[in-house]
Amino acid sequence: MNIILIGTFASLVAGSATIIGAAAVFFVRKVSDKFLDAAMGFAGGVMLSATFFGLIAPAIKTGGIWRTGVGILIGAAFLILMEKVTPHIHRVTGIKGPPTHLNKLALFILAITIHNFPEGLAVGVGFAGGNIPAGIVLAIGIGIQNIVEGLAVALSVFRDRSMMMKAFLIASFTCVVEPIGGLIGVSVVSLSRPLIPYALAFAAGAMLFVTAEEIIPETHSRGNPREATIGLILGFVVMMVLESIFV
């Protein structure tokens, strides 16, 4: 029960980091596209590094390469299915999913929900493995990514200064789903230890899909691929160093 509470709380804290980034809308008058793309690239690098060092590596260690491979594929397939059955809007490619009468705001919130659920799941599963330091580092990495995402959502989607409060509230609301994912992840795995490698790999597959489908394409959509790439590499290295120091 303690692990379940810790894992759920950690996913809540990681998700709440979105609010910190969203709060920047009250203080930052303007952010250049280059900075935003570099920051999102950094977030993508953190996600990739956390996926490998925090999820895939321990999955291979506990379950072997084949179980890990199967789990990754199932996790990615789950996100593909979610995108097919849930109407939502991608900031780069537009509306996806089944036909709907929902407005763009609702579609955007649904898209972020699909995006954030795997992050909460990853933190919960990370703690369920019993390695508390590894779970904490994973939560820190997701939190870093969420700060950048909160900033990007608040500033790039709502550029009208008269909508600052609305931008802040919507960007903050997107973090609600993460503790739900965390609770599911830590609870299911805690009840069945043999599921640990599959669950770690499942979360990794979902995170890889989100990073490749959403984060990286967005960083290259405004004509700043070099800045985005440098940001991604820096984010990967920062998360790698955190993993090596604390785990």
List 88's β-bridge partners, or say none: 96
At CA 97, angle to CA 96 and CA 101, rounded to 5? 90
pLDDT tens track for 127-148: 876 778 888 888 998 998 888 8
pLDDT tens track for 98-128: 777 777 667 777 777 788 888 888 888 888 7
| DSSP of 83-95 | HHHS-EEETTTEE
pLDDT tens track for 168-177: 777 677 777 8
Task: Let me know: does 121 contact 8? Beta carbons within 8 Å.
Answer: no
What tokens appear for 112 in the block? 């972020």
Domain extents in the chain: 2-27+36-246
Task: Let me know: does 96 contact 90? Beta carbons within 8 Å.
Answer: yes
Task: Let me know: does 54 contact 137? Beta carbons within 8 Å.
Answer: yes
Q: Which range among 20-24, 38-42, 185-189 has the greatest average pLDDT?
A: 38-42
Per-residue buried b or exposed e for 94-106, using 16+ beta carbons within 10 Å of the residue's own CB? eebbeeeeeeeee
Residue 159 confidence (pLDDT) above 60 = no
